[in-house]
Structure 1
């Protein structure tokens, strides 16, 4: 990198050099970066291609999962949720011990016992933290911290099938209403529970309402059971 001296000041490219303004000065440097053709074909970039392929699939799956959790995911008001989800899903993908690097899948990773730990440690609403715990096996919700002034919670148990289809992930809902305050809620049996596959993702999505029946913004909670 060099600094352009003299009367003539310009920006742009000339004879293979780039001229740009930074800090009130004109800086000269030779363009760098990766050669796309080499990355696609040369053996020494195999690791780069493998990583790009896996992160791409994680991003795509993350988009489908985020859409499957609407409108709740939108109510989290997190502009970087998609990126955080892709990073979390890549941790799950790395648990796939059946496939070679570059060919690993989230579905295989979800079969690993540690995938549940990764999913449950993910913080869906960073601005509001974790409010409750959910045990699908025990059919219980535990309210550890209630929003001040909340008198009712609308609970949507959403069961998401992680097997990908072209445009979306399939899911099924069971909706419940909980009077607040309470610290624990027993989920009544429902025949739809029998339709939930072993590998499905079992979410509890909770909206809180105040005494006037208005939705409390920024308080929506998402947790995995």
Structure 2
């Protein structure tokens, strides 16, 4: 790579086998990489790029559909982080599809394995949430940050969700339990039903803070809204 220190008029975009482009207040000269759109589509050396792009596209579309079904229980706070984290998690699970070759691996095939099902347990849809959630013997235990414990009139709600999702049509629906409410204290515990409906793909627990006004529960602290895979 080189730099053009002095020039006048319109600079050339190419000089022999080199290209010229502006970077800040400088003109940079570097050798052509040989990268072309046609090469990306056909060249053997870009095979891995094509495989990654194919899988990434389908995973991204699938994750968008999943988020659409869960939208009422997902935080809108720092949405980009929620989107990227889920896509990254789902892409990592493609390794459990041992049926299809790289570039054609499918999430539905991966989730047919017990290993993938175990790997998603405990996944938190809100990476920014400060609540600590653990599940032991059918009980969901939640640790609340100390700065929230001194607040008055705040309750923590918990609801169990059953996600039914069709990977072929990218459609799904939820079955939900009623919200259980608890006054804040350092360690809160909720019971979770043992039975899981037939056809349920994921069982999750939704966690949200509420205030009570005239007998009505109003959600608050959206940045602390949590959704965890059980």
Q: TM > 0.5 between the two?
A: yes
Out of 196, 219, 222, the residue aligned to residue 224 of structure 2 is 219
RMSD across aligned positions (CA): 3.0
Q: Structure 1, residues 184-224: CA drift from partner, whole Å, max 9, x if none? A: 222468xxx66342x51111111112465551231111111
Partner of 1:36: 37
Partner of 2:161: 158
Could you say what secondary structure the match of 1:67 adopts?
helix
Name the structure with the higher strand share. Answer: 2
For 2:52 and 2:99, locate their aligned partners in 1 and report how far apart those are by CA, in whole Å. 17
Partner of 1:140: 139
Could you say what secondary structure the match of 2:27 adopts?
strand
TM-score with structure 2 setting the length: 0.78
Partner of 1:125: 126
**Residue 154 (structure 1) shift:** 3.1
**Residue 12 (structure 1) shift:** 6.9
The answer as to whether partners of 1:210 and 1:216 remain within 8 angstroms in 2 is no
Q: Structure 1, residues 108-158: CA drift from partner, whole Å, max 9, x if none? A: 2112222234323534323233432346xx543222326433632333322
Partner of 1:67: 68
Could you say what secondary structure the match of 1:75 adopts?
coil
**Residue 93 (structure 1) shift:** 1.2
The answer as to whether partners of 2:82 and 2:127 remain within 8 angstroms in 1 is no
**Residue 161 (structure 1) shift:** 2.2
Structure 2 residue runs of 5 or longer lacking an equivalent are: none
Structure 1 residue runs of 5 or longer lacking an equivalent are: none
Could you say what secondary structure the match of 2:40 adopts?
helix
Aligned length: 219
